[in-house]
Amino acid sequence: MEDISMLKPSKMKKARIIISKEYYDDVVSILQDIGAMQIETPGAEAARIAQIGAGGIAAQKEIQNEAQRFRGLEGSLYKTASDSKVSFGSIKELMKEAGSIKIDERVSSIRKETEKEAAEIKEHSSRIAMLEIIQDFKGDLQIFSSGSVKSFIIYGKDGKKFIEKLKGSDDISIISLKDAWIVSITAAGEKEFSGSAEGYKLSMQLIPQMHGNVAEALEKERKAKARCEESMKSLQHELITISDRWYSKVSAIREQFDIEMDKVEVANKIGVSKSVAIIEGWIPERQMGSIEKGIAKISDGHYVLEQISSEEQPPTQFDNPAWSRLFEFFIRFYSLPKSDEIDPTLMFAIAFPIFFGFMVGDFAYGLIMLLGALWLLRRLKHPPKKSRLPKKIVSFVTMIISPSGLEIIAKAIMPGAVIAMILGVAFNEYMGFQLPYTALFNVEANLPTLLLIAGWIGVVMVEFGFALGFINNMAHGNKKHAVAKIGWMLAAIGIVIFGLNVLHKAQLGTPFSLASFGMIIAGVIAVLYGEGVQSMMELPSIVSHILSYVRLVGILLTSVILAGIIDLIFLHGVTHSILLGIVGIFILIVGQIFNLIIAIFESGIQGARLIYVEFFSKFYSGNGVQFKPFKSRRSRTLSRFIIE
C-alpha cells in the first residue's frame, strides 16, 4: 500500500541513541536544534544500564533564576526590532553575558516611578474634571471638606429628581449650579444620604480637601498634572534609551535561557551512567538521516543509533502539502489520525470548499464572504488602536474562538466563497436577483437534476469512504474487516441501483434489477463474514448517509427562495408608495444580511457534517497522539552548530 503513503501521516520510528557521556550536552543541543525527536523515558533495558534523570545540569537552580530574571526584564523594556542574532558557545558564556547586564534596578525603578506618576495624573485629571463641572461656584472650596462635613457633586439625568428628594433635611445642604448640585452632609445625615441615591441615573463625586476658589484650584491642578506628565515623559524617554541599547541582547539571553530550561526538563527522560548517555524517542523516518548526520558530526563517530521495536502507538505528525495544511485544524477538531491510518486532511481540503460553495450558490454572497474574509485577515494582522465594532460582540466572538482560530476559518471560507461565485454566475443568482442573461443551470427549474447530482455525490463519497476503509484494513492485516468493507460497497451500490429501478418503474426481471439483487446479497454475505450479524443493524444507515447529501440542494434551494421572497417584498414596496418603499428597503437590507449569515453558518456546519459523519465513519478511527518534538524555538539566537 505504499502508493497511498502520501495520504498518511509521517512514518515514525522509535530509536535509541547511545553516546559517550562527554558528548551529552552537545548531542542534546543538536537534537533540540534539529527538532525532529520526541524524547521518551527509556525502557527497562536501558534503565538497567543507566540511571534515568541523572544527567541534570549542575547549574539548574541558577539557570531557573536567571531565566525568570530575564523574562521579567524583557517584559519591562520596550520592544525594538533587530535583524542581528546572537550565538552562545556554552552555558558558562551565557551566564557571563547575563552577569554583564546591570540595568535591572534602574529599569525596575523607572517602572515604579512611571506607575506612581500615572496614578497622580489620573488623580489630577479627575479633580480637573470635577472642578470644571462646578466652575460657577464663586466661594472658597475649603468649606466643602472638614472633619464633620462631606460634600458631593451630583449631576446626571435624574439629578433634579434626586435633589428634590433631599430637600427639607436639616443635615443636608444643597447648592444649585448651572448643570450640577453640590450636596453637603453632616455625620448625622450620612446614613440617610447613602441609601437615597439607589434607583436614580446620576453621577456622584466626593469633593476632596481643597483651598481657594475654583479658578485657583484649577490652575494648581493643571500645573501639577503638567509636572507629572513632564516627569513621566522623561522617564519614558530614559526607558526607550535603555531599551534601544539593551532590549535585543536581553531578549536573546532570555531566549537562550528558555532553551536551556527545556534541556533541564528533558534531562528527566534521559538515562546517564558513568560513561554513557542513552536517549530514546520517536523520529519521523524521513528525518533519521539528518539526526544521524548531526550526532556523527558532534561525537566524532562515537555513537550508536539504532531502531528499536515498540508496542506503543507512534505519535502522529501531519505530512500534507502546504496548500492543504490549513485544514489540519478541522481534522484536529474532529480527532487526530493514528500514525498508521489514512490522514483525511487532503480529502477534507477538497470536499469542504466544494460543498460550502455549492450550498451558497450565489455570486453576491460569495463575493461578500470573500471580501469579509480578506478584511478579517487584514484586521487580525494589523489590529486598529481603537475598534469601531461593539465591544460586546468582539468579546463574545473572542470568548468562543481565538484570533488564530478566526484566521483559519477566514482562510477556509475563501476557496468556498470563490466556488460560490462561480456557481452563482452559472445559476444567475445575485442575492435573489437575476441579471439579463440565460442561466447555464437554473436552480428551481432544474431541481430534479440537482437532486440527482447530490445523490450521486453521496454515492461517490460513501463508496470512496468504504474503499479507504478497505485499504486501511488491508494495510493493518485485518483481512476480514477489509472483506466487510467490500461487502458494504457492493450492498450500497446494489441498493442504489434497486432504488433507481423502482423510481423508473423498471421490471424486476431486468439485468439491472438482477444485478442489484446479486450485489446486495453478495454484500450482505461479505459483511456477515467480516463483521458478524450485529453489523446488519447498520444496513439502513447506508441509505440515510447517501440521501443525507441531498441537503446540499436543500440548503441551496432554501437560500435561493428566501432571497427571492425578500427581493419580491422590496420590489412590491418601492413600486407602491414611499412609506412601503422605506419598509421594503429595510426588509431588503435586514433580510439579505440574515440570509447571508444563515448561508455562512448552515453551509459551513452542514458541509463539515457531511464529511465528519457520512464520510469519515466509513474508514476513520482517529484518537491519535500528537507528535511533540524536543525543539528549540529561535528568533534572536543562533545554534552553535551548523545544521544542514
Q: Which domains does the chain have, with CATH numbers?
A: 110-227 (3.30.70.250), 322-618 (no CATH)
Q: Quick check: 180 and 154 in contact, CB under 8 A?
A: yes
Instruction: Sort residue 218 into left (φ over 0), alpha (ψ -120 to 50) or beta.
Output: alpha
d(CA 544, CA 523): 17
Query: Measuring CA to CA, which residue among 463, 459, 466, 464 is closest to residue 482?
Result: 466
Residue 9 three-state SS: coil
Between strands 181-186 and 172-176, the pairing is antiparallel
Instruction: Give how far Cα 376 sits from Cα of 254, 379, 413, Å.
Output: 33, 5, 11
Which residues are registered as beta bridge partners of 6? none
- Count CB-CB contacts under 10 A for residue 644: 7
The confidence score (pLDDT) of residue 483 equals: 94
- The model's pTM: 0.79
- Residue 366 near residue 424 (C-beta atoms within 8 A): yes
d(CA 216, CA 213): 5
What is the predicted pLDDT for the residue at 129?
Answer: 87
pLDDT at 2: 46
Q: Are 26 and 643 contacting, i.e. CB atoms less than 8 angstroms apart?
A: no
Check residue 285 and report its DSSP letter: G
Q: Tell me if residue 37 falls in helix, strand or coil.
A: coil
In this prediction, residue 17 carries a pLDDT of: 94
Q: For residue 319, how many C-alpha atoms fall within 13 Å in the half-sphere facing its CB?
A: 22
Beta-bridge partners for 155 = 203
Alpha carbons 349 and 86: distance in angstroms, whole number: 40
C-alpha cell at 434: 437575476
Under 8 Å between Cβ of 549 and 492: no
In the predicted model, residues of the chain with pLDDT beneath 70 are 1-6, 54-59, 147, 191-192, 194-195, 385-389, 394, 396, 504-509, 643-644
The pLDDT value given to residue 643: 63
Grid coordinates belonging to 634: 529561535
Amino acid 9: pLDDT: 92
Q: Is 124 exposed, middle or buried (0-12, 13-18, 19+ CB in 10 A)?
A: buried
